């Protein structure tokens, strides 16, 4: 099941983007937005994820599908930067999603550790 997910175009695109993001660690903040984010630290990266999430929510509530798509792309990019900053890879997240497949969200929440 995990191999099927990895061959998905979105998963492949996210993997390539993640590799680009990792390659920007230590790059010049003057020429790379990603390097600039890394240089500003975890709190700034986390703040950007929150801002982009709010912007996506606003566009969803406005009913603007094009802007929602654009803000969603911003959100995914900044979330990948947050993962890279934390030492998480997309495969770590896919593993969590795969483990939940076929389990009702209501059932999964009941089994979460406090
Ligand atoms: N997907 C993205 C992407 N999405 C959004 N952004 C940038 O995110 C920034 C968001 O602007 P904001 O004003 O919200 O944020 P900010 O400039 O940090 O401003 P403040 O919050 O500090 O006020 C813009 O500069 C966008 O260009 C991205 N920057 C890079 N990528 C990808 O990352 C790759 C590497 O980019 P660089 O690291 O810049 O080479 C690119 O080729 C893209 O594939």
Tens of pLDDT along 71-93? 999 999 999 999 999 999 999 99
Task: Ligand 1 pocket test: pick from 13, 33, 34 the residue with the most ligand atoms within 8 Å of its Cβ.
Answer: 33
Q: How far is the CA of 34 from the centre of ligand 1 (A)?
A: 7
For ligand 1, atom 2: residue with the closest CA: 77
Mean pLDDT lowest among 9-13, 79-83, 90-94, 109-113? 109-113
Residue 7: predicted pLDDT? 65
User: Ligand 1: which atom is nearest the Cα of residue 37?
Assistant: 18
Kindly give, in sequence order, each residue whose CB lies less than 8 Å from that of residue 89, ignoring residues fewer than 6 positions away: 18, 83
DSSP secondary structure, 1-62, as one string: -HHHHHTSHHHHHHHHHHHHHHHTTTS-TTT-HHHHHHHH-HHHHHHHHHHHHHHHHHHHHH
Distances (CA, A) of 43 to 25, 30, 85, 100: 16, 20, 10, 29
CA distance 107 to 114: 14
Would you kindly state where each structural domain of the chain is located, as residue ranges? Answer: 9-20+32-97
Maximum pairwise Cα distance, the chain: 48
CA distance 46 to 62: 25
Whether 42 has a pLDDT exceeding 50, the answer reads yes
9-20+32-97 folds as Helix Hairpins (1.10.287)
User: Ligand 1: which atom is nearest the Cα of residue 24?
Assistant: 38
């Amino acid at each position: 099941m995990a191999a099927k997910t990895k061959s998905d175009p979105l998963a492949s695109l996210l993997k390539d983007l993640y590799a680009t993001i990792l390659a920007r660690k230590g790059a010049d903040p003057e020429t790379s937005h990603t390097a600039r984010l890394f240089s500003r630290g975890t709190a700034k990266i986390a703040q950007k994820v929150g801002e982009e999430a709010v912007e996506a929510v606003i566009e969803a509530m406005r009913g603007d599908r094009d802007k929602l798509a654009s803000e969603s792309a911003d959100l995914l990019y900044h979330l990948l930067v947050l993962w890279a900053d934390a030492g998480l890879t997309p495969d770590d997240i896919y593993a969590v999603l795969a483990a939940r497949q076929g389990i009702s969200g209501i059932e999964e929440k009941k089994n979460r550790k406090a």
